[in-house]
Amino acid sequence: MWSGTCIAAGSLDREDSLPTTPFHLGWFLGNSFGVHGWNQPWGGRDGADWAQPDLHIDLARALERACFDYLLLEDSLFVPDNWGGSMDFYLSRALRAPKNDPLPLVPLLTQATSHLGIVPTISTSFYPPYLLARLIATLDLMSDGRVGCNFVTSTAERAAQNFGLDHHMEHDTRYEMADEFVELVTRLWSSWDEDAVVIDRDAGMFVDPAKVRPIDFKGRFFASRGPLNTARPPQGRPVLVQAGGSPQGRAFAAKHMDCVIAAVSTIAEMKEFRADLRRRVTTAGRAPDACKLFFVVQPTLGETNAEALERSRRRQAHREAHPELALAQMGTLTDIDFSAFDIDAPIGELTTNGQQGTLKRFLAQGRTLREIAHNYRYGYEDLVGTPEHVAGAMVEVMQEIGGDGFMFSGPVTRRHVAEITDGVVPALQRLGAVRTAYEHRQFRDNLMAF
């Protein structure tokens, strides 16, 4: 629960508390326009350029300057009507729509950078696996190994209806599909050997046919003969990411993923998540460090700690004055219309076919919806202060949880981005907590470098 105080940077000037292993950094970009702060101070041109890629390009360049591992582009496939059964709340605030498809952004962002990993989101419930395998392979080839993929099962009933279903598939079935989906696309990426493209002018051979073969995949949900009609991606298998927090989501991650992102708001939850995920990864027969875990954080910065605290207080006051914002947002993640409940009555147990991990955390924040809306955090927010103070606190948190990285999020104003990339990250670098230069050229190599 929010305490209203900065977390102490403590004893970081003591030699023995300095980090020995650096941690990783990512940025979680809420991809709908409403989160870009268009009507906030520092919101830029009041949204006039919302459809243009310039803000994303500036963001990617800033992240690369700060040696981030990757930028994740969130996505969803519906216009919500989870507040009062209407789309009005969301459309008028540009929450979740308009939202351009993130995939065309990928080559623009890789062209504007040279090392940053770019991770678009795709739905394992609605994307045809062959098309996805080809699309991601193409992007990885064009960027020389800097692309990943955030696999989501898509949780909204309205998304399912956009693809012709009356009702969405059941939560656990979606994960069974996702499991098969990833297995299939991975096999398609392997349908060409690494050295299949020979380009031998003298022999008149571009591709060695002996090094390309069908996969003849027949599963419960998908089938594909293969081979892929483009070459093996430079990373072999582009970086695989996912964020589902339910037991099924964690099992899916443990089996396949290179990186998991978690939006939890206390150190205790981070420790639990990390211990559980590493146990699951080991049980799946993989080394625990093969699957990185990044926690979503949203710091509040200021010139002084007092100024940052004041900004944080204002943010909390806004939250308390407008509980409908958190409730309507949660409605889109859980397919529950919270406007239908008494905001001051005990809420009790609820179930969802949407994001189960997220709903469970949400309901644990209080007795009534008003309490929950006041207390709920999408990620860890107890990072309030000057860049130096926040950097020190991040190092302490990471030492407490043991690894592997943080995903920054929050409003995508150029001001907020600069506070992180030109304020917090240089302070982290001075502490030796994050890299000061990329170790490798390709995305996975950097992610696995420590």
Ligand X SMILES: Cc1cc2nc3c(=O)[nH]c(=O)nc-3n(C[C@H](O)[C@H](O)[C@H](O)COP(=O)(O)O)c2cc1C
Give min distance, CB of 254 to ligand X, in A.
12
**What residues numbered 94-113 form the site for ligand X, per CB under 6 A?**
none
Give min distance, CB of 248 to ligand X, in A.
6
Residue with tokens 């060409």: 192
- Token pair for 116: 């940053």
Query: Which one of residues 82, 143, 155, 191 is an interface residue with ligand X (CB under 6 A)?
Result: 155
By C-alpha distance, which of 270, 244, 222, 292 is closest to 396?
270
By C-alpha distance, which of 131, 81, 8 is closest to 389?
8
Q: Is 9 or 262 the residue whose CB approaches ligand X more closely?
A: 262
The one-letter code for the residue type at 186 is: T
Q: Is 83 or 408 the residue whose CB approaches ligand X more closely?
A: 408
Q: Report the distance separating Cα 165 and Cα 176, nearest Å.
A: 18
**What stretch of H or E contains 198?**
strand 197-200
Q: Is 94 or 197 the residue whose CB approaches ligand X more closely?
A: 94
Q: Is 312 or 355 the residue whose CB approaches ligand X more closely?
A: 355
Q: Does 296 bind ligand X (CB under 6 A)?
A: yes
Choose the stretch contacting ligand X; rule: CB under 6 A; options: 132-140, 199-207, 353-361, 397-405: 353-361
Give min distance, CB of 270 to ligand X, in A.
13
Query: Can you give the length of the chain in residues?
Result: 450
Q: Is 122 or 308 the residue whose CB approaches ligand X more closely?
A: 122
Give min distance, CB of 80 to ligand X, in A.
12
Give min distance, CB of 25 to ligand X, in A.
15
Q: Does 323 bind ligand X (CB under 6 A)?
A: no
Give min distance, CB of 30 to ligand X, in A.
8
Q: Does 153 bind ligand X (CB under 6 A)?
A: yes
Q: Does 355 bind ligand X (CB under 6 A)?
A: yes
Q: Does 32 bind ligand X (CB under 6 A)?
A: no
Q: Is 12 or 118 the residue whose CB approaches ligand X more closely?
A: 118
* Cα dihedral 169→153→252→1 (10° resolution): -110
Cβ partners under 8 Å of residue 285, min gap 6: none
Query: Which one of residues 79, 152, 257, 336 is an interface residue with ligand X (CB under 6 A)?
Result: 152
Q: Report the distance separating Cα 77 and Cα 154, nearest Å.
A: 8
Q: Report the distance separating Cα 137 and Cα 309, nearest Å.
A: 46
Give min distance, CB of 182 to ligand X, in A.
13
Q: Is 154 or 224 the residue whose CB approaches ligand X more closely?
A: 154
- Token pair for 130: 């062959």
Residue 121 phi, psi (nearest 5): -100, 135
Give min distance, CB of 358 to ligand X, in A.
5
**What residues numbered 384-403 form the site for ligand X, per CB under 6 A?**
none
**What residues numbered 39-68 form the site for ligand X, per CB under 6 A?**
none
| Range list of β-strands (E), 322-412 | 384-385, 405-408
Query: Which one of residues 76, 298, 300, 442 is an interface residue with ligand X (CB under 6 A)?
Result: 76
The answer to whether 205 and 246 have CB atoms below 8 angstroms apart is no
Residue with tokens 């300095």: 18
Query: Which one of residues 357, 403, 410, 423 is an interface residue with ligand X (CB under 6 A)?
Result: 357
**What residues numbered 301-320 form the site for ligand X, per CB under 6 A?**
none
The answer to whether 252 and 215 have CB atoms below 8 angstroms apart is no
Q: Does 121 bind ligand X (CB under 6 A)?
A: yes
The interface mask with ligand X, positions 219-248, x = CB under 6 A, is -----------------------xxxxx-x
Q: Does 154 bind ligand X (CB under 6 A)?
A: yes
Coil/strand/helix, residue 59 = helix
Q: Is 234 or 354 the residue whose CB approaches ligand X more closely?
A: 354
Cβ partners under 8 Å of residue 89, min gap 6: 83, 95, 324, 328
The answer to whether 69 and 439 have CB atoms below 8 angstroms apart is no
Please state, in angstroms and as integers, the Cα–Cα distance from residue 111 to each residue in 25, 116, 422, following that order.
21, 10, 22
Query: Which one of residues 261, 326, 390, 412 is an interface residue with ligand X (CB under 6 A)?
Result: 261
Q: Does 122 bind ligand X (CB under 6 A)?
A: no
The answer to whether 71 and 31 have CB atoms below 8 angstroms apart is no
By C-alpha distance, which of 273, 282, 296, 294 is closest to 254?
282
CA torsion through residues 283, 285, 286, 287, sign = positive
Query: Which one of residues 75, 179, 388, 396 is an interface residue with ligand X (CB under 6 A)?
Result: 75
Q: Does 263 bind ligand X (CB under 6 A)?
A: yes
Q: Is 381 or 388 the residue whose CB approaches ligand X more closely?
A: 381
Q: Is 186 or 246 the residue whose CB approaches ligand X more closely?
A: 246
- Token pair for 324: 């409908």
Termini Cα distance of the chain: 32
Q: Which residues bind ligand X (CB under 6 A)?
A: 74-76, 121, 152-155, 171, 242-246, 248-249, 261, 263, 296, 355-358
